[in-house]
Chain A
């Protein structure tokens, strides 16, 4: 840009010196002096003002749009051209071999560093895995002991149950004893019925009669 401005100044010169230095030129447009700062907000007298909508005829709008699009495309093209021609970054990009070499050197350095880290990590990892294995073995042994304990406990409980059942089995009625037992029960019938008198005495047996009154006894006498 600087070169262009230089050239504009010295248009009468036949041949101008080629300058490749670049710097930004910032132009300030529409500066109104003195202007109200933007953070002051809308003026009191303008708060309720409703600006009318611009009424542009359709034909004119289309033409304005076309011209502006054309202008923007052309300016962008010129911008791109100047950037590609004078930008310092673009100048360096041309040396492809240098870039490739830089890339390879960087890659080699990265790989070396990576290998070092990997070697360090390998030692740490092996120590950690060995410790973890020991821990696991210890844990497994503890678990085994607990399981054996539980198993013996369960066996003891089962034996106790068997003992109890054996004790009970002495009173069982076996098939050989069945006839005798039936005879025995027929010979000794049990009457579970009972009645209650006014005093709350339980009189067992369906056929049992209450003790006779004295009066009744008297009459009988």
Chain B
């Protein structure tokens, strides 16, 4: 009788980290391991093992209690290498890892990261808040233009592929309030996005 699985389907595919490392010579130091989850990106994501520290095995290994392992890795996410090694411990139980054979390593790790995008530093306030700020300015005898634009809180970090412009730099894209420029214009068929945003903009003023 073939097995029939019942329940929710998984996104993970592969082995736990211990299942791979426990079977390798010298605990697989120097080998390349990848996660199946990150293969959805076109850029390569992989990790090279630097140090391994084993955790004790649970008394009975089940799907809810799998053996973990503490590993220090040289991590590359979407072709961007972390400047410092990363410890993988809490997520080592996930059955989503796979070992890259030595002869495929060079080919697997090849690829360029997304170029850095320059984003504008400031954005206009939303219409209602802008109105309130203007009223505040009038009440406090300050120029009306004060604080009509605010700094955009971008995500920062080693993997961010965009950054706000510095002085004497021009942004690559324009960020405005509203829907913005869609990736798939076919979804907005029959709607003039520019006009609608302009109307809103004029109303606020």
* Residues of A bordering B, CB below 8 Å: 4, 7-8, 15-18, 48, 50-51, 53, 59-60, 62-63, 66-67, 70, 73-74, 76-81, 85
Nearest CB on B from A66, distance (A): 6
Q: A15 vs B134: C-alpha distance in the bound complex, in angstroms?
A: 10
**Could you write out 6 A-B pairs with CB less than 8 Å apart?**
A66-B180, A70-B180, A73-B153, A74-B126, A77-B151, A79-B153
Q: Which of the four size classes fits the interface of chain B?
A: 20 to 34
Residues of B within 8 A of A48 (CB): 6
From DSSP, what is the main secondary structure of chain A's interface residues?
helix
Shortest Cβ-Cβ A-B pairs, 8 listed = A76-B153, A81-B150, A59-B184, A77-B153, A77-B152, A80-B153, A62-B183, A15-B139
B172 at the interface (CB under 8 A from A): no
Q: Which of B125, B126, B180, B184 has the most CB of A within 10 A?
A: B184
Q: A7 vs B152: C-alpha distance in the bound complex, in angstroms?
A: 25
Residues of B within 8 A of A18 (CB): 136, 139-140
B144 at the interface (CB under 8 A from A): no
Nearest CB on B from A17, distance (A): 8
Q: A15 vs B137: C-alpha distance in the bound complex, in angstroms?
A: 10
Nearest CB on B from A82, distance (A): 9
Residues of A within 8 A of B186 (CB): 59
B182 at the interface (CB under 8 A from A): yes
Asked if A74 and B138 make an inter-chain contact with CB atoms under 8 angstroms apart, the answer reads no
Given contacts A59-B184, A78-B129, 18 further A-B contacts (CB under 8 A): A15-B138, A16-B135, A17-B139, A18-B140, A59-B183, A59-B186, A59-B187, A62-B184, A66-B180, A66-B183, A74-B177, A77-B153, A78-B125, A78-B126, A80-B151, A81-B125, A81-B147, A85-B147
* Residues of B bordering A, CB below 8 Å: 6-9, 123, 125-126, 128-129, 132, 135-136, 138-140, 147, 150-155, 177, 179-180, 182-184, 186-187
Selected from B132, B138, B151, B154, the residue in CB contact (under 8 A) with A7 is B132
Asked if A81 and B151 make an inter-chain contact with CB atoms under 8 angstroms apart, the answer reads yes
Asked if A50 and B184 make an inter-chain contact with CB atoms under 8 angstroms apart, the answer reads no
Asked if B182 and A63 make an inter-chain contact with CB atoms under 8 angstroms apart, the answer reads yes
Nearest A residue to B6, CB-CB: A50
Asked if B150 and A4 make an inter-chain contact with CB atoms under 8 angstroms apart, the answer reads no
Asked if B153 and A66 make an inter-chain contact with CB atoms under 8 angstroms apart, the answer reads no
Residues of B within 8 A of A62 (CB): 183-184
Residues of A within 8 A of B139 (CB): 15-18
Asked if B123 and A77 make an inter-chain contact with CB atoms under 8 angstroms apart, the answer reads yes
Nearest CB on A from B145, distance (A): 15
Q: A76 vs B152: C-alpha distance in the bound complex, in angstroms?
A: 8
Nearest A residue to B123, CB-CB: A77
